[in-house]
Amino acid sequence: MWNEVKTNLSSTKVYLKEFLFFVTILIFLLFFIVENKIILITVIALILLFGLIFLNFIGYKRNRELKAIESVILGIRNNTFNQAEEIKLKENLRSLQEEIKQMFEKERNDIEYLKRLERMRTEFLANVSHELRTPIFAIQGYIETLLNGAIDDEKVNKNFLDKANQHTINLSNLLNDLIDISMIESGEMRMSYRYFNINDYFGQITHEMMPIAQEKGIELIYHPAKEGLQLFGDKNRLKQVFINLITNAIKYTEKGKVEVLIEEEPKYGKIIIRDTGIGIPPEDINRIFERFYRVDKARSRAVGGTGLGLAIVKHIIEAHNSKIEVKSELGVGSEFSFMLKK
Ligand SMILES: Nc1ncnc2c1ncn2[C@@H]1O[C@H](COP(=O)(O)OP(=O)(O)OP(=O)(O)O)[C@@H](O)[C@H]1O
Ligand SMILES: [Mg+2]
């Protein structure tokens, strides 16, 4: 009991100055009012006694509140709460209770976010190693077979070298994509925005991509925009976007055409890349921009894809404060579009 009183009183130390101030004033006044010394001493003693009882009571209440707060904090630290609603303090501590609840929610979200990042990192590493292993094993296989005698076999030696060479090209493309992704995500990719003439620009890109389309027997058509139309963006980075989108359109189209057109709006130019290809299933549409995501892995790998192209495209377009849209119908075709400032 005495120990409890001691703790109660010591926790009211913060009010000691105020307490002494009031008691001194009271005693000072009493000196003038009460003349009888015995009465004066008794009153002072009573004031001090009640003062101490009062302080003990305040200390008691204060300690209980602090204990309640302490046990909530301990509960958070030991993960005993499953949700914020379980955190409860007394009525007079409502605002503190709300603050602690919000802190709890924030900590929960931060931990969730970190766990998600960790999962993404592990997945990313697993994907990278998998994608690297495929071409490296293939190249190793071809070289070993050649060394074991196939080099002298006129029927297969050139074919094996061609295949090994194709895998080194895939490997180098994959590494370039990985470098781009890591540069974009670490914020190191420098962008340089300028106005450029859209017709000249697409004239050159479609000219460069024409042989790939012709090889597959697909028509690649650019519908010129209004003469002299200029759009604002990073020409080089955008070239990467268009090459990716047009390559996809050609890659995932068996027959028909790939068209590039510009719809002019008052403040923007909307660039559309449309194909008559295999289309994308509705359940995959939201995922195709994820790193390494491919609708049909076997088919995509057969055409040399790793699923990084659209992830890079999305990043670059978002750096232009724009957003890529997709419309697609299975067996009919797909359309990718985004806006650029005029
Ligand atoms: N125009 C399209 N038509 C049909 N499917 C498409 C089209 N563009 C993309 N896809 C689907 O989205 C997936 C992701 O595309 P993305 O460009 O990111 O990867 P990729 O073409 O497989 O490989 P990469 O571009 O890295 O060489 C593709 O694997 C394909 O399944
Ligand atoms: Mg692609």
- Tell me: the pLDDT tens digits for 57-79? 999 998 999 999 999 999 999 98
Residue ranges of alpha helices (H) inside the chain are 2-10, 16-33, 37-77, 94-147, 157-185, 198-215, 235-251, 282-285, 297-302, 309-319
- Counting atoms of ligand 1 from 1, which one is nearest the CA of 177? 26
pLDDT at position 60, please?
Answer: 92
Residue with CA closest to ligand 1 atom 29: 294
Find out whether 279 and 258 touch, Cβ atoms under 8 Å. no
DSSP string, 89-117: --GGGHHHHHHHHHHHHHHHHHHHHHHHH
pLDDT-derived band at 2 (thresholds 50, 70, 90) equals: confident
Determine phi and psi for 188, rounding to 5 degrees. Answer: -85, -10
For residue 286, give the nearest of 227, 313, 255, 326 by alpha carbon. Answer: 326
Find out whether 131 and 306 touch, Cβ atoms under 8 Å. yes
pLDDT tens sequence across 142-183: 999 999 999 999 999 999 999 999 999 989 989 999 998 888
- Counting atoms of ligand 1 from 1, which one is nearest the CA of 273? 1
Rounded Cα distance, 320 and 181, in Å: 16
The CA radius of gyration of the chain, in Å to the nearest whole number, is 37
Task: Return the number of other C-beta atoms located less than 10 Å from residue 6's C-beta.
Answer: 12
**C-alpha distance across the termini of the chain, in Å:** 81
Beta partners for residue 219, in sequence order: 257
- Give me the residues near ligand 2 (ion), CB cutoff below 5 Å: 248, 309
Find out whether 199 and 229 touch, Cβ atoms under 8 Å. yes
Q: Ligand 1 pocket test: which of 252, 326, 336 has the largest number of ligand atoms within 8 Å of its C-beta?
A: 252
pLDDT at position 50, please?
Answer: 92
Q: Ligand 1 pocket test: which of 248, 294, 295 has the largest number of ligand atoms within 8 Å of its C-beta?
A: 248
* Ligand 1 geometric centre to CA of 308 (Å): 8
Q: Is the per-residue pLDDT at 300 higher than 70? A: no
Find out whether 219 and 213 touch, Cβ atoms under 8 Å. yes
pLDDT at position 311, please?
Answer: 94
- Counting atoms of ligand 1 from 1, which one is nearest the CA of 294? 29
- Counting atoms of ligand 1 from 1, which one is nearest the CA of 310? 18
Rounded Cα distance, 233 and 201, in Å: 12
pLDDT at position 218, please?
Answer: 96
* Ligand 2 geometric centre to CA of 180 (Å): 14
Pairing of strands 257-264, 219-223: parallel
Residue with CA closest to ligand 1 atom 4: 279
DSSP state of 1: -
Rounded Cα distance, 96 and 72, in Å: 11
Find out whether 64 and 84 touch, Cβ atoms under 8 Å. no
